[in-house]
Amino acid sequence: MWLMIPSWASRLRVCGLLAFVLVLACCGLSTPVQAQVSLERIYSQARLLDPDLPALSALQPAEVPAVIATLKSVSSAAAEPRALYSEIVRGKAALQGLAAEQRQQLWDAVFRHPVAGLDDEKKLKKYDPQGVIGFCFGRSMAAHLLARKLGLAEDSVRNLFVIGDLREGADPEWRFHVTALVKGEDGAWYAIDPIMEGPMTSSAWMAAVRNTWDKGRKAKFYMTPASTILPDVTVVPESGQEKGVHIIELSFDSAGKAGFSTMPGLGDEVFSVSADAVLNYFKDVDAAAGAFDFAGTPVNDMHISYNGYFADLLRDITAGVQGMMQYAEPRPAGPKVRPLGLRPGRLQPR
C-alpha cells in the first residue's frame, strides 16, 4: 500500500501536506491501533483540502513508518521557496481590482511584514547587513503574493522597474529599483511601495522616483509580469567598460532593442517588456532556463547570498495573511535610509 503514496501525496496542497506530516511525526503513534486511527483521521481532514484524493485503505502497522518517511520527503520538496511561490500564485482569484481601502491595507501589510517590512530597521539588516542588496524586489514580491492571498487575479499585478544611475547626492548609489503594481477597481495601476508614503498611481510613483533619485532624467522604466523579479545582474561592467548589452548597464538603449515598446501616455522612457525580452534581460520565476534563484545571485565574480530572505518570506506568506486588520493602527516612521535595489559600489569580492 505505501508504494502508492507518492502518486497522491504529491497532489496534496502544501499547507495540508505539511500539517499531515507534522501531526504524523509528532502525535505519538505508540501502538498500531493509535497509528491506524490517527492516520485515518488526519487523512480524512486532508481530503477536505483536496477532494480528488482517493480513499485511504487500511494500513498495516508495519507500513506506517514507510508512509511517514515518504510524506516527509515529499513535504521537504514542497517547502522549497519555488514550490511555495507556485502554490500561492495558483490560488483562486476573486478580484480583478482593489478598492482604495484594500490598497492601503495591502501597503500596510508589506510595510509591517515580519520579513519584508520597513517599520523596523532590524528586519532589513538581518538579511542585508552590509546594505548592498536593498531587497526592493523582496518587497515587490511580498506585495504581489499578499495581493494574491487577498484574491486579486494574477494578471492584475505587475512589476515596474526603474533602472539607471539612481542617486540622492552627488555620487551614484543605486542601480535599480522596483515596485509591485496592483490594478484598482477604477482600472488604474497603483504602486505598493513601502519606501513611499502609501499607495500611489504608477504615474505618481514614477514622478517621485524621478524627483528623488533621477533628477537628470536618465533612468528608464520597464513594466513586466509580477513573476519577473530582478534585472539580470550577472554582469555589471564598470562605466568605462560598458557595451550596452546588459539592461543593468547605464548605456543600455532599450529603444533600440527588440521586445521593448513604449507605453502611450506614460512617456518615452517607459517600456512594456515582451516575454522574450524578459527572458533575455531579467530573472523570472517562470523561466525555463536561468530562472530567478531564491537563494542568491552571481554578480561578476561574486555570489551575493540572500541569507534566507525568500525562504522566510515565502514560508510566512504561505501561512496566511495574519489578520490584516492589525495594520490599521498608526504607522511608525520607516528607516532613515530608504533601501532600493543594488549598490554596485559596495560589492566586494569574496
pLDDT of residue 343: 76
User: In 272-290, which positions are buried (b, 16+ CB within 10 angstroms) versus exposed (e)?
Assistant: bbeeebbbbbbbbbeeeee
pLDDT of residue 145: 97
pLDDT of residue 58: 52
Residue numbers in the chain where pLDDT is lower than 70: 1-79, 172, 320-337, 344-350
Give the single-character DSSP code of 98.
Answer: B
- Write phi, then psi, for 169 (nearest 5 degrees): -110, -150
Distance CA 283, CA 229 (A): 6
Nearest to 218 by CA among 256, 176, 178: 176
Where does 4-112 have alpha helices with state H?
A: 5-9, 14-26, 32-49, 64-78, 81-89, 100-111
Cell of 240: 568605462
pLDDT of residue 273: 97
Helix 81-89 vs helix 14-26: angle between axes, to the nearest 10 degrees? 130
Which is it for the CA torsion 283, 284, 290, 292, positive or negative? positive
pLDDT in tens, 179-238: 999 999 999 999 999 999 999 999 999 999 999 999 888 999 999 999 999 999 999 998
Give the single-character DSSP code of 91.
Answer: S
Q: How much is the pTM?
A: 0.76
pLDDT in tens, 234-260: 999 987 899 999 999 999 999 889 999
